[in-house]
Amino acid sequence: MTPEAVLDLTQNAMWTAVLVAAPMLGVALGVGLVIGMFQAATQINEMTLSFIPKLFALFLTLVFAGPWLLATLTNYTQQLILNIPSIIG
């Protein structure tokens, strides 16, 4: 196995991880920012006020983006398994 093959596998794995994590992290960041601004404006420091909306938004994101996330992971795994002979050989 050449160093270029290892770097290529690592790059593909990292890119797939970024693609899968980005929708959920982006939504959590956006909702957290909006809730944080609301808490700063109203001076309400309740922890559940930031946790429950984030949890709900992440659930909705997972419902809507779930098929795409699953397809991305499945495609990566299929390509990885199909490339095993060329990686080993």
User: Which tens digits make up the pLDDT trace of 7-27?
Assistant: 999 999 999 999 999 999 999
- What pLDDT sits at residue 37? 93
What is d(CA 79, CA 76) in angstroms, rounded to the nearest whole number?
A: 5
Query: Among residues 10, 21, 4, 24, which one has the least CA distance to residue 73?
Result: 21
- What pLDDT sits at residue 48? 81
pLDDT at 73 over 90: yes
Count of domains for the chain: 1
For the entire predicted model, the pTM comes to 0.81
Structural domain containing residue 40: 3-88
